[in-house]
Amino acid sequence: MKDVVDANIGKFQDPALTAKGEPRATVSLTNPQTLWFNTGTLCNIECVNCYIASSPTNDALVYITADEVRDYLGQITQRNWPVTEIAFTGGEPFMNPQMIEITEASLAAGYDVLILTNAMRPMMRKSVQAGLVRLNEAYPGKLTLRISVDHYRTDLHDAERGAGALEKTVTGMKWLRDNNIRMAVAGRSVFGATDEDSRAGYGAFYAEHSFDIDPQDPGMTVLFPEMDETVEVPEITTACWGILDKSPDAVMCSSSRMVVKRKGAATPAVLACTLLPYTEEFELGHSLEEAEKDVALNHPHCAKFCVLGGASCSA
């Protein structure tokens, strides 16, 4: 685990105990619904606050292959996991040259597919467009692209993603709209607006462009809290579930895992969740069987983002 920042000095050190010596909360994989794949950390842009530090040069996580994805799809069946959704994140998934083949393998296996994308140039290549149209027609209602729209205002979105970014993303979204490919949106709650005001703003943005996206549905307009490790957060103890009136079954690592391929690694690895791709402690093994172990909530993101923030990466 990387060094704990000053705000949380002394915390998140022992997987079993908090800094105060209290038993740390753990989460069991009770109902695996989503298997995530990181398609690679390379991205066509570099955002200011990307939690995974994706960029045009970061290949810390390399492109996963279609055959590697198929192997894990087989493991789902072998382990009898009740997974309904296969989800892909990056980097930018459409940078991966096998992304259409990977998507097709997941759809053909009977799963709903969710792809997180900025809807910019990698998605707009002719071969990718043709593949998306073909798969959307072959598997109606099974494919969703969740578009990163940090803010519905151009100035705020572009402050995170670079000048002209929102205009390019909107162009991609209009193409998806015109080809009847279902969209959702991932926004951020870092800008200081209330949830109500943010959803109203996204609703106006959707209406302006005739996007069929529900701003009030938290699965279709996902507003993620900021993952800032410089902010002090409390550690989550076993007593917190009762204090917060929250079940560990509501936390993301009770229902999902993520597969990554590290640069130089012979085989992919399975992680506890999508938010901690570089933290060795949250690497559970190479197989889904190994990944069935309990997860200790031993990171600031576990507390702030998942338990206290109530966030989930899936719909």
Global confidence as pTM? 0.94
Provide the pLDDT for residue 313.
Answer: 45
Judged against a pLDDT cut of 60, whether residue 2 lies above it is answered with: no
Judged against a pLDDT cut of 70, whether residue 146 lies above it is answered with: yes
- Phi–psi pair at 115, nearest 5 degrees: -120, 125
In the structure, what pLDDT confidence band is assigned to residue 185 with cuts at 50, 70 and 90? very high
What tokens were used for 49?
């606050």
Q: How far is CA 218 from CA 148, 198, 238, 313, in A?
A: 14, 12, 28, 11
Q: Which CATH architecture has domain 24-304?
A: Alpha-Beta Barrel (3.20)
Q: What is the percent of the chain with per-residue pLDDT over 90, rounded to a whole number?
A: 83
DSSP the chain: -PPPPGGGTT-S--SSB-TTSPBBPEE------EEEEE--SB-SS--TT-TT--BSS--SBPPPPHHHHHHHHHHHHHHT----EEEEESS-GGGSTTHHHHHHHHHHTT-EEEEEE--STTTTSHHHHHHHHHHHHHSTT-EEEEEE-S-SSHHHHHHHH-TTHHHHHHHHHHHHHHTT-EEEEEEESTTS--HHHHHHHHHHHHHHHT----SS-TTTEEEEPP--TTS--PPPBTTHHHHHT--GGGSGGGTEEEEE-BTT-SS-EEES-SS-TT-GGGEEESSTTGGGS-EE--SHHIIIIIIIS---S--
pLDDT in tens, 192-211: 789 999 999 999 999 999 99
Provide the pLDDT for residue 163.
Answer: 96
Task: Return the closest-CA partner of residue 249 out of 156, 312, 165, 166.
Answer: 312
Mean pLDDT, rounded, for 278-291: 96
Dihedral (CA of 288, 293, 299, 305) sign: positive
CA count, 13 A, side-chain hemisphere, 311: 22
The residue ranges of every structural domain in the chain are 24-304
B/e letters for 185-216, b = 16+ CB within 10 Å, e = fewer, are bbbbbbbeeeeeebbebbbebbeeeebebebe
Judged against a pLDDT cut of 90, whether residue 180 lies above it is answered with: yes
- Name the average pLDDT for the chain: 93
pLDDT in tens, 21-37: 999 999 999 999 999 99
Provide the pLDDT for residue 251.
Answer: 93
Provide the pLDDT for residue 157.
Answer: 95
In the structure, what pLDDT confidence band is assigned to residue 227 with cuts at 50, 70 and 90? low
Contact status, residue 244 vs residue 25, Cβ threshold 8 Å: no
The highest-confidence range among 8-17, 73-82, 242-251, by mean pLDDT, is 73-82
Contact status, residue 156 vs residue 188, Cβ threshold 8 Å: no
| 201 preceded by a cis bond (ω within 30 of 0) | no
- With tokens 């259409």, the residue in question is 100
